[in-house]
Structure formats: C-alpha cells, structure tokens
Amino acid sequence: MPFSDYKTALVTGASSGIGAAVVERLRQENIEVHAVARSGQALQMLAARTGCIPHVIDVTDRPAMAELAGRVEFDILVNNAGVDRPKKFLEADESDIDLLIDVNLRAVLHLCRLVVPGMVARDRGHVINISSIAGTYNFGGNSSYHATKAGVSMLSNQLRIDAFGKRVRVTEICPGRVATDIFNHVHGNDPSVRERFVDGFELPQATDIADAIAFAIAAPVAVNIGHMEITPTLQVMGGLQTAKPQSEAKSNQSGEPTP
C-alpha cells in the first residue's frame, strides 16, 4: 500500500536510535507522526527537527496510551520501545523480569489491542513490531529478553491470522547489532561500552532499519512483508558449545587423565 494511503503513525521509543530514525523517515513521506517516549527534551528536539507530534508518555502507562489511541486513528503502528537487563536467568531479579515483560511485551500487546481493531474496521493499516534476533536465536545471559522478544515474534504471526480478510499488514523487524546508543542505556554511559559494542565494527545504522521499514510500508497493498532479519554482514548467530561435567573438568585441571 503506498504511503499516500496512510495518514497517521504512532512510534514508541521515539526519542533516539531506531525510533527517532523511523520518525524522521515517516515524516519524509508526509505522514503525521505521533512520537512517544519518556524523554521530553529529546522528543522536543525531534519535534523541532521533523515536525512530529511529541507525547511524553511511558508505554507502560496504559490509561495515557489508551487516551491517545482513542483520540487518533492510526494507520501505522511502530512498536519500537524496549529495555534490557542482561544477566543470567539464575541471577535474575524480580524487578528486572517485570520491567522487561511490562515494556517489551505487555505494552506491545495492549497497543495492538487498542489500535489494530480500528485498522480492521477501516480495512487499512500496518503494524511494525521491532523484535530482535534474540527472539529466534540463543545467546548467553539474556533469558528474560529472549522470552519477551519471542512473544513479540509470535504475536506478529498471530495478528495476521486475527485480521485475516482485511488489508491490515504486519511486519516483524528483527535487528541484530545496530550502531545506536542502546548499549549505553543497558551497560552504562561509559566510553568503554561503545568501544566494546560499536567502535571498529561494520554495523547497520538506525537509518538502515528505518529504510527497511519504509520499504515494507511502501510495498503494494497486495504484498505483506512479514519478517525481515537485519544483521551486520560480519555477524552470525549460533555456534556449538559442549561442556564437560564439573567433575571431569576438575580432573583435567588437576592433570589426571580423562577417559
């Protein structure tokens, strides 16, 4: 469906990174973009630069999000807001689990509940759910994050079933590592963090993800681009590891022969 058939968009997590890039890209297509984030100063700067409509709201504030969704008919919904508290699940805190579920999954479910029925009624709409390669692939120390992103992935598939017969399209965007400030938000605002995750790597930029989203939205109405996995060329997922039992490992360390 060409951009001309859409008038309004809601983008969460819009104050920086991928969210801000998506706002800018949609504004280039003359879409009225409502940008939601917690950072009022960053939103105001984004609004001054792009002409978007800022809303300083936490996505977990259900009444505030319901009020916005009840006031504006959204043709495009971009669920981008997300958080992470990386640690092994054996060391997980109760508050960390609740936070990830509330922001990464519960807020997405409720926003879809608030917005998608209107799209179905109008026979027009596009949901963009930004999940992660963590929803599909395993890597250490991030179990709660993996679980929430897998939930978003399954929701994306189910939405198309629930909206079957209507021109409501659903696209799941699964980024790998992208050059944004998310690593500072997660690991602390220290130069060593950027050096660890960004500097020296060839990574997609936030604008690359925004362009991919624009490509999916601009496809003909008969085309639903359901899933896009976007990773650095030099990043791969997976890898086989095999551990020995602790008793075996200790025997090796002591120099004793292992059968």
Mean pLDDT estimate for the chain: 90
Instruction: Return the closest-CA partner of residue 232 out of 177, 181, 194, 183.
Output: 177
Specify if 68 maps to a domain: yes
Residue 158 lies in a domain: yes
- According to the model, what pLDDT value does residue 88 have? 84
Domain residues for 100? 3-253
145 belongs to the catalytic site:
yes
CA distance 176 to 155: 19
Distances in Å between the alpha carbon of 257 and those of 3, 74, 102, 244, 249?
68, 67, 51, 14, 11
Residues 179 and 206 sit within 8 Å (Cβ to Cβ): yes
Q: Which domain CATH number covers 233?
A: 3.40.50.720
Reported as a single tens digit per residue, the pLDDT across 23-57 is: 999 999 999 999 999 999 999 999 999 999 999 99
**259 part of a folded domain:** no
Q: Which of 6, 74, 145, 183 is catalytic?
A: 145
State how many domains the chain has: 1
In a domain, 168, yes or no: yes
Whether residue 28 lies inside any domain: the answer is yes
**Above 80 in pLDDT, residue 141?**
no
197 belongs to a structural domain: yes
Of the two residues 235 and 71, the one the predictor is more confident about is 71
User: Would you say residue 107 lies in a domain?
Assistant: yes
pLDDT in tens, 100-111: 999 999 999 999
* Domain assignment of residue 159, yes or no: yes
pLDDT, one tens digit per residue, over 165-215 is: 999 999 999 999 998 877 655 655 677 767 777 888 889 999 999 999 999
